[in-house]
């Protein structure tokens, strides 16, 4: 797969996965080596059932999206995710030549993806791959990822109502921080598992 080769050329440890079961197996190998596992709120990772498996294996689970958390507890979990052993997330877009693009509301997810955790693992479905440059990747996020995520998170944004980005000024806007990974950050061990199936938004 071209995107996998592109990622490798940019210094990422990248693997092609023919299906979600293969991705789950590879992720669980990394979970086995960790004591604490942070989750970036990814529907893609959620579809693999990693959190329950990690918890059953006795790992400390850090999941800021847990609805039972108070606002203060949520903030503490977000901070703990920055220094966990393993942080799991997806990308909002991946260019065919290996650029990883994520857009965040608070910045906690992208912060943890760059520096802090001992290891970061991206799981990316084929639907996230775009032909073209970083502009095409950002356009994909605004068109395909942000609107359904605003619906999922019950955000009061125009795109949650219309399904189309309005480049809004809503207090609930989730498109506040854009991170483009051109190359693997020097101090962060990053693996990317690209799944040949549509997963997440």
| CATH at residue 19 | 3.40.50.10420
Per-residue pLDDT of the chain (201 residues; tens, 9 = 90+): 999 999 999 999 999 999 999 999 999 999 999 999 999 999 999 999 999 999 999 999 999 999 999 999 999 999 999 999 999 999 999 999 999 999 999 999 999 999 999 999 999 999 999 999 999 999 999 999 999 999 999 999 999 999 999 999 999 999 999 999 999 999 999 999 999 999 999
Both tokens of residue 172?
A: 């609930």
Q: What is the pLDDT of residue 81?
A: 98
Q: Indicate whether this model's pTM tops 0.75.
A: yes
On whether the CB atoms of residues 27 and 79 are closer than 8 A, the answer is no
137 in a domain, yes or no? yes
**Residue 49 within any structural domain of the chain:** yes
| Model pLDDT, residue 94 | 98
- 8 Å CB contact between 136 and 92: no
Question: Is 84 a domain residue?
Answer: yes
For the chain, what percentages of helix, strand and coil (3-state, to nearest 5) are there? 40, 25, 40
Predicted local confidence at residue 64, as pLDDT: 96
* Residue 200, in any domain of the structure: no
Q: Residue 105 contacts by C-beta under 8 Å, 6 or more apart in sequence?
A: 173, 174, 175, 176, 177
Residue 160, pLDDT score: 96
For β-strands 100-104 and 177-181, DSSP reports them as antiparallel
Element (H, E) at 69: none
Examine residue 201 and state whether it is found in any structural domain, yes or no.
Answer: no
pLDDT confidence of residue 57: 96
Q: State residue 186's pLDDT score.
A: 94
What DSSP state is assigned to residue 196?
S
Which residue has 């997330």 as its token pair?
89
Name the phi and psi angles at 4, rounded to 5.
-65, -45
- Number of domains observed in the structure of the chain: 1
Q: Kindly provide the b/e burial profile for residues 149-183, where b requires at least 16 CB atoms within 10 angstroms of the residue's own CB.
A: bbeeeebebbbbeeeebeeeeeeebbbeebbebee
Owning domain of residue 99: 2-195
């Amino acid at each position: 797969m071209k995107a996998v080769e592109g990622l490798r050329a940019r210094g990422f440890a990248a693997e092609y996965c023919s299906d979600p079961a293969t991705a789950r197996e590879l992720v669980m190998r990394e979970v086995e080596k960790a004591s604490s596992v942070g989750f970036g709120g990814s529907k893609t990772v959620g579809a693999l059932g990693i959190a329950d498996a990690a918890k059953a294996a006795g790992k400390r689970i850090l999941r800021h999206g847990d609805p039972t958390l108070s606002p203060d507890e949520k903030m503490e979990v977000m901070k703990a995710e920055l220094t966990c052993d393993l942080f799991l997330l997806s990308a909002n877009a991946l260019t065919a030549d290996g650029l990883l693009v994520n857009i965040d509301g608070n910045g906690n997810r992208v912060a943890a993806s760059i520096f802090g955790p001992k290891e970061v693992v991206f799981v990316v479905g084929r639907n996230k791959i775009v032909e073209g440059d970083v502009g095409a990747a950002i356009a994909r996020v605004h068109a395909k990822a942000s609107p359904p995520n605003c619906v999922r998170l019950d955000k009061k944004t125009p795109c949650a109502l219309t399904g189309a980005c309005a480049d809004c000024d809503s207090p609930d806007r989730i498109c506040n921080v854009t991170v483009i990974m051109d190359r693997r950050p020097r101090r962060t061990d990053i693996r990317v598992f690209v799944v040949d199936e549509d997963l997440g938004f």
